[in-house]
Amino acid sequence: MVAVSGSVVAAHDVDLGFAQSGRITGVYAPVGAHVGAGTLLAQTENGDLRATLAQKKAALQSQQAKLASLKSGTRPEELAVSRATVASDEAALEQAKAGVVNAIRTAYTQSDDAIHNKVDQFFNDPRSGLPKLSFSTGAQAEITLANDRAAMEALLSEWQKHVSGLSAASDLPPSQAEAQTNLARISTFLSDTNAVLNNTTSSSVSQATIAGYITDVATARANLNTASGALTTAISTQSAAITLLDRDKKSLALKLAGTTADDIAEQEALVAAAAAEVESAQAQLSKTIITAPFTGTITRMDAKVGEITSPTEPHISMISDGLFQIDCYIPEVEIANLAVGNAATTTLDAYGAETFFRAKIVAIDPAETEVGGVSTYKTTLQFLAPDPRIRQGMTASVVITTREIEGALVVPQGEVFQKNGHAMIQLLRAGTPEDVVVQTGASSSVGNVQIISGLQDGDTVILNPDTSL
């Protein structure tokens, strides 16, 4: 037997803290609370991280659904839906093209009104090759504006030819570009005209008349801006319709062609990537929460709502529900006699030497630990049964049984002495001390030794013998 002392410890105990700094928003378990593994104990602000995790999970589900769809193949009803979508896209594109045609025609109409109705009221012979302002201003300004007016006539004439035959079936991009260019040129002409009018102080026409011209030109410019915006919108709508139709046609073609192994492999890779995103988001969220790593009892709770945490500071301690253990350190002279599974009898200082608890060795450290200058080996024993009286930190006295011998005869080691090269015990026979040679066997660290031979039933052993006799 080997006798040692040790301390009672929980099978598992742990100090818990947050992995990153943050403001604590919830504490959910007081000291003494019994919690299950995975129970949320405390958390810091993490609303944004939870939202991110939810988004990542939704993205993963979407990719998983696509993979399942690829593996199951395209159903007839899905093909019908795709064909209907393409037909709808084609109708939308035709409508968008019609919208572009209408926008071009409106742009031409507004341009024609701007020149022939708004501007021509202060030009003489405006549609001839030599138009002339109906009032006097700077000589160069009159020449420039007259030349520009002639150019506008040629522009409108050519544009009208193109617009008259325009339809949704026409090649629209050239007509779109022409309309945008013409609107820009006419807008520039109106801007120049407005500048001339604003600087005119002619004696041949009243200022009220000039003011009326300025108002009409401003109206024309506003109408052109509106027409230009409508044309831009119509072109954008047409482009979007073309893109949508192209996408849906490709989707229908893929469904008609069926799923290939490469398609499935590619989608599986997307699922794996989405799963990795979920794991990453979960890892970030886990840094803001503390959960119980095992079932047990909270022994310390320092976390407080509103407190700013530090990643180096533990806030919560807990112990497991497993059987309590005893940690003790066995001197190297005894360690060879021990093995995992050896039984032991334990007493706890708190309950006295008459209250016994059964235990057994469950682990022996292979590496030494120096205690008080002596090489020892940490040995862990586990109580064989739960007992509410056992508490962490109690001092335990342990007697480990290293070997069991049925019916062994033992005496205190101090009663065996050496004489003439023999192990001897002193007996009392007929009232006289007598030295008897004995054969010893196993011994224990509690001070007993086995006597294999040399003693008989009824022999009286003299304690503290006088070995000089």
The tens digit of pLDDT for each residue in 214-225 reads 999 999 999 999
- pLDDT-derived band at 148, boundaries 50, 70, 90: very high
> What is d(CA 339, CA 325) in angstroms, rounded to the nearest whole number?
16
Residue type, 59: A
Q: Are residues 119 and 232 in the same domain?
A: yes
The CATH number of the domain holding residue 342 is: 2.40.30.170
pLDDT digits (tens, 9 = 90+) for 13-58: 888 989 889 999 999 999 989 999 899 999 999 999 999 999 999 9
DSSP secondary structure of 400-419: E-----TT--EEEGGG-EEE
Percent of the residues in the chain that have a pLDDT greater than 90, as a whole number: 49
Q: Which of 431, 467, 433, 436 is nearest to 454 (CA)?
A: 436
What Å distances lie between residue 428 and 436, 439, 448, 450, CA to CA? 10, 18, 20, 20
Q: Are residues 219 and 100 in the same domain?
A: yes
- Asked whether residue 78 carries a pLDDT value surpassing 70, the answer given is yes
Task: Dig out the tokens for 373 from the structure.
Answer: 């200058």
- Asked whether residue 417 carries a pLDDT value surpassing 90, the answer given is no
Q: Are residues 244 and 367 in the same domain?
A: no
pLDDT digits (tens, 9 = 90+) for 226-277: 999 999 999 999 999 999 999 999 988 877 777 778 888 998 999 999 999 9
Give the model's pLDDT for residue 322: 74
Domain boundary among 349, 382, 400: 400
Q: Which of 146, 147, 151, 127 is nearest to 136 (CA)?
A: 146
Q: Are residues 161 and 224 in the same domain?
A: yes
Q: Are residues 222 and 355 in the same domain?
A: no
- Asked whether residue 294 carries a pLDDT value surpassing 90, the answer given is no
Q: pTM for the whole thing?
A: 0.44
Domain boundary among 400, 432, 452: 400
Tell me phi and psi for residue 443, to 5 degrees: -130, 165
pLDDT digits (tens, 9 = 90+) for 161-211: 999 988 888 888 999 999 999 999 999 999 999 998 888 776 677 889 989
Domain containing 358 equals 322-400
Q: Are residues 422 and 339 in the same domain?
A: no
Give the model's pLDDT for residue 207: 86
User: 118-124 contacts: CB < 8 A, separation 24 or more?
Assistant: 118/216, 118/217, 118/219, 118/220, 119/149, 119/152, 119/190, 119/193, 119/217, 119/220, 121/213, 121/216, 122/205, 122/213, 123/149
Give the model's pLDDT for residue 444: 61
> What is d(CA 16, CA 25) in angstroms, rounded to the nearest whole number?
17
- Asked whether residue 91 carries a pLDDT value surpassing 80, the answer given is yes
Q: Are residues 347 and 366 in the same domain?
A: yes
CA angle 441, 447, 452 (to 5 degrees): 20
- Asked whether residue 117 carries a pLDDT value surpassing 60, the answer given is yes
Give the model's pLDDT for residue 114: 94
> What is d(CA 360, CA 384) in angstroms, rounded to the nearest whole number?
7
137 located within any domain:
yes
16 located within any domain:
no
Residue 326 · residue 6 · CB < 8 Å: yes
- pLDDT-derived band at 468, boundaries 50, 70, 90: low
What Å distances lie between residue 283 and 72, 195, 277, 280, 287, CA to CA? 33, 67, 10, 5, 7
More confident residue, 188 or 424: 188
- Asked whether residue 437 carries a pLDDT value surpassing 70, the answer given is yes
Residue 49 · residue 25 · CB < 8 Å: no
Q: Are residues 383 and 421 in the same domain?
A: no
Q: Are residues 249 and 336 in the same domain?
A: no
Classify residue 407 as left (phi > 0), alpha (psi -120 to 50) or beta. Answer: left
Name beta bridge partners: 318.
14, 298
Q: In what order do the strands lie in the sheet with 432-437?
A: 417-419, 422-429, 432-437
> What is d(CA 420, CA 377) in angstroms, rounded to the nearest whole number?
38
Sequence-separated (6 or more) residues with CB below 8 Å from residue 298: 29, 30, 31, 32, 33, 35, 41, 316, 317, 318
The CATH number of the domain holding residue 450 is: 2.40.420.20
Total number of domains constituting the chain:
3
**Radius of gyration from C-alpha coordinates of the chain:** 51
343 located within any domain:
yes
Give the model's pLDDT for residue 447: 63
Sequence-separated (6 or more) residues with CB below 8 Å from residue 250: none
DSSP secondary structure of 282-305: HHHHHTTEEE-SSSEEEEEE---T
Q: Are residues 327 and 457 in the same domain?
A: no
Percent of the residues in the chain that have a pLDDT greater than 70, as a whole number: 95
- Asked whether residue 407 carries a pLDDT value surpassing 70, the answer given is no
CA angle 163, 165, 167 (to 5 degrees): 90
Domain boundary among 354, 370, 400: 400
More confident residue, 133 or 358: 358
Give the model's pLDDT for residue 223: 95
pLDDT digits (tens, 9 = 90+) for 299-340: 899 989 999 998 878 889 988 877 889 999 999 888 888 899
More confident residue, 406 or 52: 52
Q: Are residues 149 and 238 in the same domain?
A: yes
How many Cβ atoms from other residues are within 10 Å of residue 114's Cβ?
27
Most confident option among 28-32, 419-423, 430-434: 28-32
